[in-house]
Each structure stands twice: as structure tokens, then as C-alpha cells.
């Protein structure tokens, strides 16, 4: 049994960890490399393993640096299953085709250039169609349930509190008849973040594979960050400037909307227009609305009071490119939230080009800025940057609000580690850059007396039981599918989820205060719902596991 680090090794993007025994190959995450040009080039490399031999992908969450190469894996022959939580599946349903679209567009641009130099056209990394097709291999798994994937391999997804649906993946493997346990933290969130639940603590592990994005940083609390955000908005409106927020479409954006909704409700900020200018972020927000059963207590309470945090009077969604361009015609103060979060793609580049040179503007970065990205260069204090072919002076006020980040800081990571009770054999630090990793490594050594390992890309580690070395030379069988009874069980579980969603929805409907007109309409809807419930019951009877 062996674990090899193929991505997210001394870098934050491209997460991919291969776990292989003689009987199966499992990939934990299959992410895209992001950031500067050299990093993006890595996506074009052949997979360092045959894609058709991968039996399962265990996907921690939907972010592209964890999921973005699954369509490429599929295109090159992967026919196994992708196990993830339901919100992760729902988010991938919009994010992967969106990524396919970006690949097609970029490829077209490259090929136009190649044609002018007399070169033959290249294929895109993958297409929208590849992305849509690979989604058929996804199987949603319930949080907290141990799934025996094969007799030698069991997995459980626990709440990671990073974005909706994000999971810590616990993996039990059998080595020479003895169980070993690996815990992949995925991206770990902070405690007390809006919308998402707090990360769960895990108590047992032999090996821990821990993210270290902010291994060298200490975040402000959510309250302190909100206070700062409020002040920047008030200050910028006073000098009649715009507030530009490059934001990650999924997760960060919804949290910012949540915060702004609260500030608007409490009348703490001036009522200026807030534009959500990213089609992907708009779709992602809708996925959030459909997955409210995964929200934390505070967000659920808010919904029950009838306040949808993603809807307030001055919030506007700009879907078309024309609407987006119009935002730059007006000089009035407003808040523009747009993707990408590292400012190296998408509509945000236009907003930065039009506003970065103005002293009245405030730009607020709300997440990790990878080395080489435009966001990182602005944040590092470059005075002139090139955006869409133009040199632009950086005169705006630049803020970085790491407290809005979805990643735990050093204290958060250490606190999570401290909850393991069993003696831990090995800790691997992944998903971080040099400084984060080294700082965290030092602290792990000081407090836990463990020499953590920071693997390089391609480093491989044997999981041993006792003194016997496990050979991985021969590869006997392949599990391409979960056994039928497990599929039935998962399906049964989905039906039970559906049933409880139905009950909650019906309750909500019946508790509404409605006009007579609306009551009439409701009397048509309720029997339809009952019909649906009958269908769920019928299916449940068919696939009830023994
Ligand atoms: Zn992430």
C-alpha cells in the first residue's frame, strides 16, 4: 500500500494524492494547477498514472484546484466512480462545465495565434461536453456515514467547514489484514464562519494529510473582519469611490453576500448598489439556496425568520456581458463582487482595469492569492500591472481581509490536530507554499513532537504494517463499481434525504401567512407534493437494503 503526492505538494493548487494497493487505485482529489503561467502549464502534462486504472476518486470539495482535472481524467479513460457529498456534486455540476467552457475559449485563442504562425491547432484540455459526461460518474455520499467501498477500503466524509459540502475524508485500508487509517483534511475551514458548519474533529489516524495554506498566518476573527469591511465601505462611499471585491465564485461570494445582507438589515452601511457580476457565482448562489439543509444553525435560523441572506433590496445580479460593461459607465459608488478571486481571469479584470488607477477606489482581496497571480502582484505592492494588454497604475487602496478566507489559520490547524487522540504515525503537510509549510512544521514539532513531512511532487510513501514491506508490483483486480447492495444503500439514503426535505418544505408551506388567492394556488400544489411523496415511498420499498 503506497501513497504518492502528485499535486498540492509544496504548492496550494493541483491537489492529487494517489493511494494504491495491489487491488485498487484511489485518487484523493484531482485538481487543476492555478496561478502563474508555469503552474498552469502543469495541467497539460500527462497524468503520471494510467487514468483507466483509477477505480475511485474521493473528492473533498468542489473548488477547481481539487476537482478541475476530473474531466481530463475522464477524457483519458477513467471509468471509475467519483465519491463526494451532495452539495459538492451540485456545485461540480456548474463548475466543471464552466471550467470546460474556459478551456474551450482559451484553446480557441491559442489556436488563432498558432494558425497565424502556420502551426496546427491543439485540442483543449477538455470541453464542456467532457465535463458534463464525467458528472455521470459522481456518486453522492452522506456526511458521517462509513461506506465500505471494497472489503479492503472504507471511507467516511466529515464536515470540513471550508465551503458548502466540503469534507474531510477518512480512509481505512487493510494492510496485511490489519487496518490502517489515513485522514485527508481537504481544505479546512475556520470555526464560526457564516453559512457553513464548523469543521469536525477527528480522533483517530495513523497518517494525517493536512492542508497548510495559512500555516504561517493568524486571521482576525469574523467580527473584526466585518468591522473592517464596514469601515472600508463607509470610507470609500464618502470619497465617492467604488469597492471592488475579487471573489471566489463559490463559497467566498456567498459569505460576503451573507455579511452585506446583515449590514444592510442593521443599517450599518450606506444603501449603495451591490452588484454580483459573475454568472458562475450567481449559479453557485442558487445551488446554496437548494442545499439549505447543510447550512449551520445561524443561517438556518435566519431562513426560518424569512430572511434569505442572498436577497436584499440593493443587490443586483448582472448576468450578461453588456450589463457587466455598463457598471463601468457610472461613476456612482457601488460594490462590485466579481470573479476570479485571484484576479487572473474573468470579469474582475475589466473592473480592475477601469478602477485600479483611481485613488477613490478600494480593492478588497478576500482569499488566498497564489504566487504569480495578478492578485498576488497587486497585494505585494506592484505600482503598475498589466491587465488585458494595458499598463494600469495601482492608485487604489488595497486591502487583504484574510479573516474572510475559507482556510483555517495556524492556530485553527493546530487546534484541529490537537484533537487526535490516537498516537499519530505520520503527518504530511500539503496544499501550502514554502513559508506556510515551514512555519507549521516547526510548530507541529514543538507541540506534538512529530517531524512532519512536506512531500515534493512525485514523492511516494509505503504504508507498512510491522516490518513487512508490501509489494505493489502486481495488480490483480479492479473495482470499477461499488457492490450493488451499496449502490442501493446510497440510493436509499438519498431517498430518505429527499423525504426529510419534503417534510420540511411542506411544513414551511403550511406555515405561511397567505392571501386567499395564494391559498387557492397552494391547494393545487399540496396534492402534487403528496403524489411526489408516494413516489418516494414506492422507490424506498424497491431499494430498501436487507
Ligand atoms: Zn478549497
Domain borders along the chain are: 2-217+406-466, 222-404, 489-543
Given the candidates 3.40.50.1110, 3.60.15.10, 1.10.10.10, 3.40.50.300, the CATH classification of the domain at 2-217+406-466 is 3.60.15.10
pLDDT, residue 521, reads 78
Cα of 199 to ligand 1 centre, how many Å? 13
> Do 2-217+406-466 and 222-404 fold alike per CATH?
no
Cα of 410 to ligand 1 centre, how many Å? 16
pLDDT interval class at 481 (50, 70, 90) = very low
For the beta sheet containing 362-365, the strands, ordered from the edge strand earlier in sequence to the opposite edge, are 315-317, 274-277, 335-338, 243-246, 362-365, 397-400
- The segment with the largest mean pLDDT, out of 144-148, 404-408, 429-433, is 429-433
Among residues 432, 2, 370, 17, the alpha carbon closest in space to that of 188 is found at: 432
Cα of 68 to ligand 1 centre, how many Å? 11
Q: Is the pLDDT of residue 470 over 60?
A: no
What does the buried/exposed string (b/e) look like for 300-319 if buried means 16 or more CB atoms within 10 Å of the residue's CB? eebeeeeeebbebeebeebe
* Whole-number percent of the chain with pLDDT over 70: 94
pTM over 0.75: yes
Q: Mean of the pLDDT values across residues 486-494?
A: 65
Q: Is the pLDDT of residue 422 over 70?
A: yes
Cα of 102 to ligand 1 centre, how many Å? 19
Cα of 260 to ligand 1 centre, how many Å? 22
Cα of 479 to ligand 1 centre, how many Å? 28
pLDDT, residue 469, reads 34
Cα of 33 to ligand 1 centre, how many Å? 12
Which of 49-53, 83-87, 308-312 has the lowest average pLDDT?
308-312
pLDDT, residue 483, reads 56
pLDDT, residue 49, reads 96
pLDDT interval class at 487 (50, 70, 90) = low
Rounded Cα gap, residues 341 and 326, in angstroms: 21
Cα of 300 to ligand 1 centre, how many Å? 23
Question: How far is CA 203 from its chain centroid?
Answer: 24
Within 160-306, strands assigned E span 167-175, 178-184, 207-211, 243-246, 274-277
> CB neighbours (10 Å) of residue 321?
12
Cα of 166 to ligand 1 centre, how many Å? 8
pLDDT interval class at 359 (50, 70, 90) = very high
Q: Is the pLDDT of residue 40 over 70?
A: yes
At 142, is the secondary structure helix, strand, or coil? coil
> CB neighbours (10 Å) of residue 209?
27
pLDDT, residue 475, reads 29
Cα of 460 to ligand 1 centre, how many Å? 24
Q: Is the pLDDT of residue 468 over 50?
A: no
Q: Is the pLDDT of residue 466 over 50?
A: no
Element (H, E) at 383: none
Q: Is the pLDDT of residue 234 over 80?
A: yes
DSSP at 45? S
Cα of 340 to ligand 1 centre, how many Å? 14
Cα of 124 to ligand 1 centre, how many Å? 24
Q: Mean of the pLDDT values across residues 93-111?
A: 94
pLDDT, residue 280, reads 93
* Mean of all residue pLDDT scores within the chain: 89
Cα of 444 to ligand 1 centre, how many Å? 23
Cα of 63 to ligand 1 centre, how many Å? 5
Q: Mean of the pLDDT values across residues 444-459?
A: 94
pLDDT, residue 477, reads 34
Cα of 78 to ligand 1 centre, how many Å? 23
Say whether the peptide bond before residue 340 is cis (omega within 30 degrees of 0). yes
Q: Is the pLDDT of residue 355 over 80?
A: yes
Half-sphere exposure of 31 (CA within 13 A, CB side): 29
pLDDT interval class at 480 (50, 70, 90) = very low
CATH 3.40.50.10890: does it fit domain 222-404?
yes
Tens of pLDDT along 393-410?
999 999 998 778 889 999
Q: Is the pLDDT of residue 467 over 80?
A: no
pLDDT interval class at 486 (50, 70, 90) = low
Cα of 353 to ligand 1 centre, how many Å? 27
Question: Which residues make beta-bridge pairs with 7?
Answer: 16
Cα of 163 to ligand 1 centre, how many Å? 7
Cα of 75 to ligand 1 centre, how many Å? 24
pLDDT, residue 485, reads 56
Cα of 162 to ligand 1 centre, how many Å? 7
Cα of 251 to ligand 1 centre, how many Å? 9
Tens of pLDDT along 126-143?
999 999 999 999 999 889
Q: Is the pLDDT of residue 546 over 80?
A: no
> CB neighbours (10 Å) of residue 289?
14
At 501, is the secondary structure helix, strand, or coil? helix
Q: Is the pLDDT of residue 338 over 90?
A: yes
Say whether the peptide bond before residue 435 is cis (omega within 30 degrees of 0). no
Q: Mean of the pLDDT values across residues 367-392?
A: 92
pLDDT, residue 492, reads 67
Amino acid at each position: 500500500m503506497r501513497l504518492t503526492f502528485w499535486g498540492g505538494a509544496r504548492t496550494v493548487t493541483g491537489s492529487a494524492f494517489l493511494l494504491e494497493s495491489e487491488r485498487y487505485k484511489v485518487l484523493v482529489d484531482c485538481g487543476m494547477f492555478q496561478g502563474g503561467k508555469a503552474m498552469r502549464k502543469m495541467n497539460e502534462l500527462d497524468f503520471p498514472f494510467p487514468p483507466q486504472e483509477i477505480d475511485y476518486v474521493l473528492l473533498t470539495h468542489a473548488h477547481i484546484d481539487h476537482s478541475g482535472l476530473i474531466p481530463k481524467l475522464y477524457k483519458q479513460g477513467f471509468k471509475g466512480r467519483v465519491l463526494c457529498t451532495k452539495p459538492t456534486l451540485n456545485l461540480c455540476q456548474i463548475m466543471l462545465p464552466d471550467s470546460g467552457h474556459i478551456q474551450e475559449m482559451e484553446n480557441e485563442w491559442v489556436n488563432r495565434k498558432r494558425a497565424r504562425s502556420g502551426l496546427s491547432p491543439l485540442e483543449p484540455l477538455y470541453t464542456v461536453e467532457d465535463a458534463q459526461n464525467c458528472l455521470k460518474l459522481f456518486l453522492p455520499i452522506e456526511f458521517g456515514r462509513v461506506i465500505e467501498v471494497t472489503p479492503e477500503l472504507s471511507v467516511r466524509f466529515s464536515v470540513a467547514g471550508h465551503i458548502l459540502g466540503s469534507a474531510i475524508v477518512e480512509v481505512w485500508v487493510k494492510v496485511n489484514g490489519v487496518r490502517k487509517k489515513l485522514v485527508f483534511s481537504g481544505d479546512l475551514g475556520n470555526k464560526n464562519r457564516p453559512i457553513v458548519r464548523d469543521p469536525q474533529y477527528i480522533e483517530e489516524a495513523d497518517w494525517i494529510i493536512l492542508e497548510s495554506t495559512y500555516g504561517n498566518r493568524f486571521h482576525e476573527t469574523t467580527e473584526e473582519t466585518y468591522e473592517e469591511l464596514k469601515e472600508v465601505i463607509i470610507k470609500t462611499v464618502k470619497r465617492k469611490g467604488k469597492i471592488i471585491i475579487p471573489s471566489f465564485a463559490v463559497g467566498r461570494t456567498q459569505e460576503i453576500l451573507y455579511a452585506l445582507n446583515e449590514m444592510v438589515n442593521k443599517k450599518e452601511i450606506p444603501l449603495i448598489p451591490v452588484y454580483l457580476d459573475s454568472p458562475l457565482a450567481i449559479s453557485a448562489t442558487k445551488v446554496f439556496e437548494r442545499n439549505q439543509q447543510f447550512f449551520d444553525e445561524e443561517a438556518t435560523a435566519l431562513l426560518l425568520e424569512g430572511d434569505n441572506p442572498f436577497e436584499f433590496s440593493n443587490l443586483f445580479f448582472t448576468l450578461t456581458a453588456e450589463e457587466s460593461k455598463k457598471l463601468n459607465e457610472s461613476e456612482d459608488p457601488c460594490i462590485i463582487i466579481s470573479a476570479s478571486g485571484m484576479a487572473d481571469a474573468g470579469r474582475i479584470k475589466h473592473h480592475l482595469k477601469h478602477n485600479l488607477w483611481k485613488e477613490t477606489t478600494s480593492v478588497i482581496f478576500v482569499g488566498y492569492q497564489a504566487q504569480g497571480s495578478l492578485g498576488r502582484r497587486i497585494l505585494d505592492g506592484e505600482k503598475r500591472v498589466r491587465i488585458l494588454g494595458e499598463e494600469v497604475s495601482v492608485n487604489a487602496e488595497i486591502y487583504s481581509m484574510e479573516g474572510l478566507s475559507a482556510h483555517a489559520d495556524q492556530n485553527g490547524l493546530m487546534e484541529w490536530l490537537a484533537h487526535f487522540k490516537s498516537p499519530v504515525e505520520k503527518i504530511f503537510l500539503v496544499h501550502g507554499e514554502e513559508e506556510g509549510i515551514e512555519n507549521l512544521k516547526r510548530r507541529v514539532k514543538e507541540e506534538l513532537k512529530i517531524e512532519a513531512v512536506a512531500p515534493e511532487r512525485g514523492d511516494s510513501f509505503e504504508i507498512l504494517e510491522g516490518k513487512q514491506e508490501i509489494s505493489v508490483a502486481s495488480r490483480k483486480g479492479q473495482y470499477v463499481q461499488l457492490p450493488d447492495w451499496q449502490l442501493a444503500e446510497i440510493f436509499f439514503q438519498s431517498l430518505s434525504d429527499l423525504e426529510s426535505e419534503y417534510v420540511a418544505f411542506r411544513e414551511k408551506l403550511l406555515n405561511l401567512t397567505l392571501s386567499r388567492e395564494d391559498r387557492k394556488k397552494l391547494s393545487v400544489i399540496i396534492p402534487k407534493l403528496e403524489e411526489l411523496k408516494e413516489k418516494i415511498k414506492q422507490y424506498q420499498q424497491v431499494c430498501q437494503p436487507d
